A and B are shown apart, each in its own frame.
Chain A
Amino acid sequence: DVKVTQSSRYLVKRTGEKVFLECVQDMDHENMFWYRQDPGLGLRLIYFSYDVKMKEKGDIPEGYSVSREKKERFSLILESASTNQTSMYLCASSLRGRMDGYTFGSGTRLTVV
């Protein structure tokens, strides 16, 4: 069964900390995505990547960066965590073609205190 694995289900971090959220997929997918999900705002795209070492800004990239050194791994980095980054973070992947569906991970619930 194909999988997208997010390393942590729950994280609690302090304001100002540098936070790494890790996502690994075993499907040899070219595309990977990071979303955040907040009540009333739905899912919003933070960053995405079409290939190793490539990244594109999504709709809300401010305060975040990403890294994709290997095809299977896409990391989301909060350079200096703030309380307004408390959210559910969801990673997804898909094949290169636009006809393909997305596969999501189980999510990371991040709380910044």
Chain B
Amino acid sequence: KQEVTQIPAALSVPEGENLVLNCSFTDSAIYNLQWFRQDPGKGLTSLLLIQSSQREQTSGRLNASLDKSSGRSTLYIAASQPGDSATYLCAVRTGNTGKLIFGQGTTLQVKP
């Protein structure tokens, strides 16, 4: 059974720092991995989608990497800003039905 783990559960950093969020999954047979952002009380916003054949994707200050063989992905946020404060979720698409399996998320606080 696929399990997705995100470490740390919470992170607090001063503005301007570069930071890394971690995601690990137990079964490397995935179709893709998606990183989402969720603001309190809101829905999920897709940040980056990495296909299983890809190693990384970039969007602005965000860079996501994927090492399928080791079951790991990282989300790198450069020059963090208070507006980056949110919960970040990773999810893998897997199985015969292609369902999305989520991690528990990392709650990020960027202090001014």
Interface residues of A (CB under 8 A from B): 6, 33, 42-43, 45, 48, 56, 58, 88, 90, 92, 98-107, 109
**Least CB separation from B41: chain A residue:** A109
Q: Which among B18-26, B58-66, B73-81, B95-103 touches the partner chain?
A: B95-103
Contact across chains for A101 and B49 when beta carbons are under 8 A apart: yes
Contact across chains for B34 and A106 when beta carbons are under 8 A apart: no
Residues of B within 8 A of A88 (CB): 41
Distance, CA A45 to CA B45, complexed state (A): 18
Q: B93 on the interface (CB 8 Å rule)?
A: yes
Q: How far is the CB of B102 from chain A (nearest CB, A)?
A: 5
Interface residues of B (CB under 8 A from A): 31-32, 34, 36, 41-46, 49, 51, 89, 91, 93, 97-100, 102-105
Q: Given contacts A48-B99, A102-B91, list 8 more A-B pairs with CB under 8 A.
A: A6-B43, A42-B103, A42-B105, A92-B44, A92-B100, A101-B46, A102-B46, A104-B44
**Total CB contacts across the A-B interface at under 8 A:** 48
Distance, CA A103 to CA B46, complexed state (A): 7
Residues of A within 8 A of B93 (CB): 98
Distance, CA A95 to CA B102, complexed state (A): 19
Contact across chains for B43 and A104 when beta carbons are under 8 A apart: yes
Query: Which of A98, A104, A105 touches B98 (beta carbons < 8 Å)?
Result: A98
Selected A-B contacts with CB under 8 Å, 14 pairs: A42-B103, A43-B89, A45-B99, A90-B43, A98-B31, A98-B93, A98-B98, A99-B32, A102-B34, A102-B100, A103-B46, A104-B46, A107-B41, A107-B43
Residues of A within 8 A of B42 (CB): 106-107
